[in-house]
Amino acid sequence: MAARENQVMVVDDSGALGFTMSLEFRAAGWGVFCCGSGEEALKKLDDAPFDLLITDIQMPGMSGIELAHKVRDHHPRTMVLVMSGLPREEVKGLPVNVAFLPKPVDVKKILKAYEQQESSRNMPPPPVTS
């Protein structure tokens, strides 16, 4: 039985960035789903698991920060990255374990960060000594 390919969801209201990122993720062997709102993203997450969710911060309706909180609460196995053209110090309210990416976004760096997190997540716990 073949291993399931990794799945990424890109949430961006402009569409152009999602399209560009989807080409790069597909070239790396990932399945990609793009959507334009936090509300649409949450509906899709309820239907299918995703390994990685990348969202813009500034969107109409639900912000990327609000989406990140909801994903952390309801889909804790999904790695969440938020991206923005704003400097990091101006971004307030990021949930714990959510990474910030400055625009322009480098998909190769995202893939490396994902692999590092997955390898640390899959490490056995340290032995208990008494």
pLDDT tens profile 40-87: 999 999 999 999 999 999 998 999 999 999 999 999 999 999 998 888
- State in Å, rounded, how far the first CA of the chain is from the last one: 42
Residue 12 confidence (pLDDT) above 50? yes
Helix (H, G, I), strand (E, B) or coil at 81: strand
Tokens of 81: 């990255």
Identify the CA nearest to 18 among candidates 54, 65, 51, 58: 54
Residue 91 maps to a domain: yes
CA pair distance 64, 70, nearest whole angstrom: 10
**CATH number for the domain that contains residue 45:** 3.40.50.2300
Residue 97 maps to a domain: yes
Per-residue pLDDT tens for 92-125?
A: 888 888 888 888 888 988 888 888 777 766 545 4
CA pair distance 86, 18, nearest whole angstrom: 18
Q: How many domains does the chain have?
A: 1
Q: How is the beta sheet containing 31-35 ordered, strand by strand?
A: 31-35, 7-11, 52-56, 79-84, 98-102
Residue 51 maps to a domain: yes
Residue 38 confidence (pLDDT) above 50? yes
Q: How confident is the model at residue 2 (pLDDT cuts 50, 70, 90)?
A: low
Residue 70 maps to a domain: yes
Q: Which pLDDT does position 125 carry in this prediction?
A: 47
Residue 2 maps to a domain: no
Residue 123 maps to a domain: no
- pLDDT average, residue stretch 34-39: 94
Residue 108 maps to a domain: yes
pTM score = 0.85
Residue 77 maps to a domain: yes
- Expressed as residue numbers, the domain containing 82 is 7-116
